[in-house]
Chains A and B, each alone.
Chain A
Amino acid sequence: MVLKAFFPTCCASADSGLLVGRWVPEQSSAVVLAVVHFPFIPIQVKELLAQVQQASRVGVAVLGTWCHRRQEPEESLGHFLEGLGAIFSHEPWLQLCRERGSKFWSCKATRRQVPTCPATSGEDQVMLVFYDQRKVLLSQLHPPAALPDRQAGDATASAVGLAAVFDTVARSEALFRSDRFDEGPVRLSHWQSEGVEASILVELAKWAAGPICLLLTCLLSLVSAASACRMFKLWPLSFVWSKLSTCEQLRHRLEQLTLVFSTQKAKNPTQLMRKANMLVSVLLDVALGLVLLSWLHRKDRIGQLADALIPVADHVAEELQHLLQWLMGAPAGLKMNRALDQVLGRFFLYHIHLWIGYIHLMSPFIECILWHVGLSACLGLTVALSILSDIIALLTFHIYCFYVYGARLYCLKIYGLSSLWRLFRGKKWNVLRQRVDSCSYDLDQLFIGTLLFTILVFLLPTTALYYLVFTLLRLLVVTVQGLIHLLVDLVNSLPLYSLGLRLCRPYRLAAGVKFRVLEHEAGSPLLLLMQINPLSYSRVVHTYRLPSCGCHPKHSWGSLCRKLFFGELIYPWRQRGDKQD
């Protein structure tokens, strides 16, 4: 195999010295991590390498020599470098050489021991691959290569292929800690040799993060303890809490904040990204909520909203009344059963009358309630949207009631019809065997059964029409609520920090690598540049999506249609932990 030498771009202009790095025999590649400059004492170099090997569990060794020649070739240096091969024995021994100011390099790899097969020569063909050390150090490969447990003895990374290069550089941080201003015995050249980079703000933030996290964790635990107290578990309150989507959203946010401000450090990069994404999502949410709040309070919009709310509710109730009057007459030219029609129509009209009375009772308090609810927008835009969704649900509660009445009636009718139809044919439903069996009925049973069947069949159009109308209204309300929930879900689960990282620092999220062939001249070795291939935006969103509330429709279209046909109640937006109906 061709020998591949991975050389950091920052060392390309360094002075002559020794190459230090890791040799991966399975792929016949040498990953150069740093260059040790003259003068050095071999014992000290070996000590440093042993220290680094112990700290990082990477098999760091001296791989060869690096010669950056000036104009006049130095013969003595050349012999000296060759002599070093005797002190630091490594198989194969790399010799990289570059003329100052020239673009072409010369690489040699020699093997001291003659291999058993005489066909291969003592020298291997070498390919030089340049890589940006800082970017490779900071980047994360997706999907992450499965690595063995780090505590397993002297287990060096068994990552396959190019992931081994990334892993070697990432683990060798101990080697990059010394810079050229250190007074150490050995002078190294690597990406941080010009001085370790740091930012005062970042250091201050790290120092302040500890106490702040502790304080916030205490506050959050107080809040969650208060919300978990026994008083809220009493039956009416717990039922109401479970139905309101605002409580679900608040609980979700509380969980997220507890995770973000927990004093435990993130165990792996994925957890760190998740924490960062949650924090950014919460911050954006609160910012948008504050914008909404300032807009609402600016021109007394709350007062305008409150003034507009009652007439709108009245208008809706009036429209419903008109609808019922239409149903009680001859809707769409269909002939209804007069008596049943009148009964159902009057029943629903009375409900609407009660509802209008209730709204008028509430009208003096509406503005005050809206004002306080508007304040909750400072908790976040998602909370405000959830409250809006709950308000819509409360205002259209009468439509929900009508739907339930219509559905129950229709459901009863359908079941009655199917059972009596079986009786009409002389069959029966066997509950034990869950199948239809034949059965012999008495004459009077058959008579009453057929009579009831006829009655139900002739009353079917009326009930079916009421059911259809109220189901459509209910579906409309559910669609509006669904759209609001979708928006809330979007804000909740979009990984904004990861997207921002992909935009500003694309090398951090790597899907792979790409190569480019640099200037090539016949006779000199091949020079390649290895760059990081960033992850695409869709894969970033897919990988780092935050878990949302889980309020997704659980039924497929087919089962929904089936439920609608048989009159079973539909709950498209199931909250987490609800029992199935």
Chain B
Amino acid sequence: MEDEQSFSDICGGRLALQRRYYSPSCREFCLSCPRISLRSLTAVTCTVWLAAYGLFTLCENSMVLSAAIFITLLGLLGYLHFVKIDQETLLIIDSLGIQMTSSYASGKESTTFIEMGKVKDVVINEAIYMQKVIYYLCILLKDPVEPHGISQVVPLFQSAKPRLDCLIEVYKSCQEILAHQKAPSTSL
């Protein structure tokens, strides 16, 4: 079952949340970030090339121009491959674990999987970010030494940064699945 809704992130950009309910024990949430804008790309390229042309008129060396082209290409490739995240996906599978995938604009995917045995809870936290107070969803991991302690806080959707309404949707679904974890152990 698929579902798509439109939300906004903390800066006001448009986000699209895709929800897929594969089964009562498996759900996937996919947040798509705004794409790279042509305007900013053109602006950066023009600035770099104008600066290179200025240097060229000063030192009369054509290597400067070819170097500028090279740098622009490399910079763009590097940005697309290492920096620009297109989509962030959260896959939660009951009794297996939670998986976060970030797909970059160049197609690279980086995945982290946390086993259900290590997950204590999924909560919405508040944070002070520059001059704003924002909400973010995070996973609390159990401390192996202390049974009621928390060893790590793993924030989710760090580059999409959705607002509270989107986070509440994801939070409710996650809690429904996490409730299965706690229920059987208490009933038996």
When distances are taken between beta carbons in the complex, the residues of chain B under 8 Å from A161 are 115, 117-118
* Beyond known contacts A127-B25, A161-B118, A522-B1: 6 more, CB 8 A cutoff: A2-B94, A127-B26, A127-B95, A160-B117, A520-B23, A528-B93
* A539→B23 CA distance, assembly (Å): 36
By a CB distance below 8 angstroms, the chain A residues around B91 are: 515, 517
B180 to nearest A CB, angstroms?
A: 8
One digit per residue, 1 when the CB lies within 8 angstroms of any chain A CB and 0 when it does not, for chain B 95-120 equals: 11001010000000001110101100
Interface contact A517-B184, CB-CB below 8 Å: no
Q: A28-B95, A127-B96, A515-B99 are in contact. Are A526 and B111 (CB under 8 A)?
A: no
* Complex contact B25–A526 (CB within 8 A): yes
- A146-161 residues at the B interface, CB under 8 angstroms: 160-161
A426 vs B91: C-alpha distance in the bound complex, in angstroms? 78
User: CB distance A514 to B111 under 8 Å?
Assistant: yes
Given A1-B95, A127-B96, A528-B93, decide whether A512 and B113 contact each other with a Cβ distance below 8 A. yes
- Min C-beta distance of B142 to chain A, whole Å: 12
A517 touches B22 (CB 8 A): yes
Chain A 117-154 residues near chain B, CB threshold 8 A: 117, 119-120, 125, 127, 129
Is the Cβ of B112 less than 8 Å from the Cβ of A512?
Answer: yes
B86: chain A residues at CB < 8 Å are: none
CA distance A512 to B23 in the complex (A): 24
> Distance in Å from the Cβ of A30 to the closest Cβ of chain B?
13
A526 touches B113 (CB 8 A): no
28 of the cross-chain contacts (CB-CB < 8 Å) are A2-B25, A2-B94, A2-B95, A2-B180, A4-B95, A27-B95, A27-B117, A28-B95, A119-B187, A120-B188, A125-B25, A127-B95, A160-B115, A161-B117, A162-B115, A512-B113, A514-B101, A514-B111, A515-B99, A517-B22, A517-B28, A526-B22, A526-B23, A526-B26, A526-B93, A528-B26, A528-B96, A533-B111
Contacts between the two chains (Cβ within 8 Å), count: 59
Task: Provide the B171-188 mask, 1 if CB < 8 A to any CB of A, else 0.
Answer: 000000000100010011
Task: Tell me how far the C-beta of A135 lies from the nearest C-beta in chain B, rounded to whole angstroms.
Answer: 16
A340 at interface by CB-CB < 8 Å: no
Tell whether A457 is near chain B: CB-to-CB under 8 Å. Answer: no
Taking a contact as CB atoms under 8 Å apart, the answer to whether B96 and A533 are in contact is no
Return A507 CB to nearest CB of chain B, in Å.
14
Residues of B in contact (CB 8 Å), total 23
Are A117 and B93 closer than 8 Å at their CB atoms?
no
- Nearest CB on A from B173, distance (A): 15
Min Cβ gap A512→B in Å is: 5
Is A513 in contact with chain B by the CB < 8 A criterion? Answer: yes
Give 1 or 0 for each of B57-96: 1 = CB within 8 Å of chain A CB.
0000000000000000000000000000000000101111
Instruction: Determine the distance from Cα of A117 to Cα of B23 in the docked complex, in whole angstroms.
Output: 25
| Docked CA distance A216–B28 (Å) | 58
Residues of B within 8 A of A28 (CB): 95
Residue of B nearest to A523 (CB): B23
A514 pairs with B96, CB closer than 8 A:
no
Q: Are B113 and A513 in contact (CB under 8 A)?
A: yes
Q: List which A501-518 residues lie within 8 A (CB) of chain B.
A: 512-515, 517
Complex Cα spacing A520 to B112, Å: 23
**Cβ–Cβ < 8 Å partners of B112 in chain A:** 512, 533
Residues of chain A in range 6-35 having any CB-CB distance to chain B below 8 Å: 27-28
Contact A117 B184 (CB under 8 A): no
A163, closest chain B residue (CB): B115
In the bound assembly, the distance between CA atoms of A302 and B157 in angstroms comes to 61
Query: Least Cβ distance of B61 to chain A in Å?
Result: 29
* A396-B4 Cα distance, complex, nearest whole Å: 73
Residues of B within 8 A of A520 (CB): 22-23
Chain B 1-45, CB-CB to A under 8 Å as 1, else 0, gives 100000000000000000000110110100000000000000000
Query: Hey, which chain A residues are within 8 Å of B111, CB to CB?
Result: 514, 533
Q: Please give me the residue from chain B that is nearest to A2 by CB atom.
A: B95
Which residue of chain A is the closest to B185 with respect to CB atoms? A1
Query: A514 touches which one: B22, B94, B99, B187 (CB < 8 A)?
Result: B99
Bound-complex Cα distance A1 to B188 (A): 11
CB nearest neighbor in B for A525: B23
Among A119, A517, A522: residue with most chain B CB under 10 A? A517
Q: A4-B96, A515-B93 are in contact. Are A533 and B187 (CB under 8 A)?
A: no
Contacts of B115 in A (CB 8 A): 160-162
Q: In the bound complex, do residue A117 and residue B187 qualify as a contact, i.e. CB atoms below 8 Å apart?
A: yes
| Assembly CA distance A514 to B89 (angstroms) | 12
Known: A160-B117, A162-B115. A517 touches B95 (CB 8 A): no
B188 contacts across to A, CB distance below 8 A: 117, 120
CA of A515 to CA of B114, assembled, Å: 11
Q: Tell me the complex Cα distance, A401–B71, Å.
A: 47
Report Cα–Cα, A161/B113, bound state, in Å: 12
Residues of B within 8 A of A528 (CB): 26, 93, 96
Considering only CB atoms, which chain B residue lies closest to A531 in the complex? B111
Complex interface residues of chain A between 214 and 266 (CB less than 8 A to chain B): none
Residues in B whose Cβ lies below 8 Å from that of A525: 23
Q: How far is the CA of A318 from the CA of B101 in the complex (A)?
A: 65
B1 / chain A contacts, CB cutoff of 8 Å = 522
Interface string of A509-547 (1 = CB under 8 A from B): 000111101001010011010000100000000000000
Q: Count chain B CB atoms within 10 A of each CB in A2, A119, A129, A528 and give the residue with the most.
A: A2
Across the interface, which residues of A come within 8 angstroms of B117, CB to CB? 27, 160-161
Give the docked Cα–Cα distance between A512 and B184 (Å): 27
Contact, CB under 8 Å: B113 / A514 = yes
Minimum distance in angstroms from B181 CB to a CB of chain A: 8
The answer to whether B26 and A517 have CB atoms under 8 Å apart is yes
Among all A-B residue pairs, the 4 with the closest Cβ atoms = A514-B111, A161-B115, A1-B95, A2-B95
Contacts of A160 in B (CB 8 A): 115, 117
A16 to chain B, nearest CB (A): 26
The minimal Cβ–Cβ distance linking A280 to chain B, given in whole angstroms, is 27
CB distance from A136 to the nearest CB of B (A): 15
CA–CA, A517 and B22, complex, Å: 8
**Residues of the B chain whose Cβ atoms lie less than 8 Å from the Cβ of A117:** 187-188
